[in-house]
Every structure is written in structure tokens, then in C-alpha cells.
Amino acid sequence: MLLIVWELCGRAGLLDQRYFPIPSTIFHALKALAVSGELWSNTEASLQRLAIGFFVGGIPALAIGIAMGLSRPLRLVVDPLIAATYPIPKSAILPLLLLIFGLGEGSKIAMVAIGVFYPVAINTLAGVLAINKVYFEVGTHFKATPWQTFRTIALPGALPFIMTGVKLGAGLGLVLIALAEMVGAKKGLGYMIWNSWELLVVDTMYAGILVIAVIGFALTIVFNEIERVVVPWGTPR
């Protein structure tokens, strides 16, 4: 409905199509980008960086979050560090990452990894702390090893929170990879959007934004399905 109103307003001259091209123009640009292959190469580059950064940041975050939940001394040391650094705008550290990793893939992957780390770590910690202490007492009673406690109590019990952190981290990672690609990249959706802005090819810029929105929607559906399978007790039917 919104697209129809947008189209009609644009054709009626109520919107300046130099800044707000009508949806039909945007879809035409999207089709041209797909036919030329530019859309697919840029999307592939962004998704590859997002996937690598997601695992680089998400796996340590999962381990640290569970370890903090199981160990109060570790939590007292690490939690203040996370609380102090989490509010720092991730875009503000991009220049630092460029200094450390240069203009190559490292800075972009690090940007995503940092963005993914915080939601996953914080939600994992919250999930472990939310587990009823009775389960840990039962594990202690049966002399469970630390690995058994992690595998059979902490990880399954925290899974609903972990999945929430994963979905938040994926969304934030998608935002940050687009931002990182606007600086020093020669390929990627962020680069395509920024390059289109510099050349004032506004319909291509909107097409890039649309693709990012579609990817975000698709990731939400995928993670919701994964959550439904791995956490059947924690998802509404």
C-alpha cells in the first residue's frame, strides 16, 4: 500500500523524483543491476564479510557469556569492561580499525565481529543467570564436570536468550558492514550505495538500501526457523 501511494505521489509531482524516485524506477534499476551482475557481486561480498565477522565475533561471545554466567569472579572482572565499552558508537571506532587493519577485509570483518559480540555475550550471560539454580545443584550432586555442566545445563538453558542475541547481532552486523564498506571498499552493498550517492544515481542508491532490507528480513526468517527447531520449548506456536 505504501509503495502504491509513493508511486502515485511521485507521478503526480508531489514528490521530487530527484531525491525520491518512484518504486517502478527503483525496481527497474534493480533489474538492470541484476542483469549486469553488479548486484550479485556486491551482495556476495557483503554477505561473505557478514558471515565471517558473525562467527569471529559470535563464537567468542558465546563462550565468554556462558563462562561469565558460570563464574562469578570472572563476571566481576569482565562484566564492567563490557558495560563500559558497549555504549561506544561502533561507527566511532571505524577509524581505529582502519589504522589497525588497513583498508582491506580485516577492518570490515572486525567491524562486524565487534557489533555481533556485544548482543550475543550480554544475552548469553542473561540466559545463564536466568537458569533455575536447582539445575546446577543437581549437576553438582551428580558430580558433573565443567564440560557436562556447560553442555547439559548452561547451554540448553540459555538457548532462548542466545537466539535473541544472535538475531540482534546479525541485524547490527548488517548495519555495520554497510557502514564499513562505505570507506575504502571497492565492492559490497555499502560501497554501491555510497558510490551511487557520489554519482547522484539515486535510484541505484535506493536499490542498494532495498536489498539490505530484504537481506535483513530473510535473516530474521531464517533465525526464527532455527530457533523454532533448536528451542521448541521457548518459542510460541
Confidence (pLDDT) at 125? 93
Q: Which residues contact 99 (CB under 8 A, 6 or more apart)?
A: none
What the block records as the C-alpha cell of 175 is: 548495519
* Mean pLDDT estimate for the chain: 87
pTM: 0.87
Does the pLDDT of residue 175 top 80, yes or no? yes
- Please write the tens of the pLDDT for every residue from 201-237: 888 999 999 999 999 999 999 999 988 888 877 655 5
In angstroms, the CA 44 to CA 201 distance is 22
Does the pLDDT of residue 119 top 90, yes or no? yes
- Helices (H), ranges, the chain: 2-11, 23-36, 38-70, 72-85, 94-101, 105-130, 133-141, 146-149, 155-181, 189-199, 202-230
Does the pLDDT of residue 17 top 80, yes or no? no
Confidence (pLDDT) at 199? 85
Average pLDDT estimate for 99-123 = 90
Does the pLDDT of residue 10 top 60, yes or no? yes
Single-letter code of the amino acid located at 150: F
Lowest-confidence pick of 74-83, 96-105, 162-171: 96-105
Only one residue has cell 556447560, namely 150
> Residue 149: is it exposed, middle or buried by C-beta count within 10 angstroms (0-12/13-18/19+)?
middle
In angstroms, the CA 212 to CA 35 distance is 18
- Please write the tens of the pLDDT for every residue from 140-152: 777 778 888 888 8
Average pLDDT estimate for 69-95 = 89
* pLDDT classification of 133: cutoffs 50, 70, 90: confident
Does the pLDDT of residue 11 top 80, yes or no? no
What is the set of domains in the chain, with CATH numbers?
42-230 (1.10.3720.10)
Confidence (pLDDT) at 235? 56
Confidence (pLDDT) at 122? 94
What the block records as the C-alpha cell of 99 is: 589504522
Average pLDDT estimate for 43-50 = 93
Average pLDDT estimate for 49-56 = 94
DSSP 135: H
Give one DSSP letter per residue of 174-236, joined into a string. HHHHHHHHTTT-SSSHHHHHHHHHHHT-HHHHHHHHHHHHHHHHHHHHHHHHHHHHH-TTSS-
* pLDDT classification of 135: cutoffs 50, 70, 90: confident
What the block records as the C-alpha cell of 68 is: 561469565
Torsion of CA 164, 169, 171, 172, to 10 degrees: 140
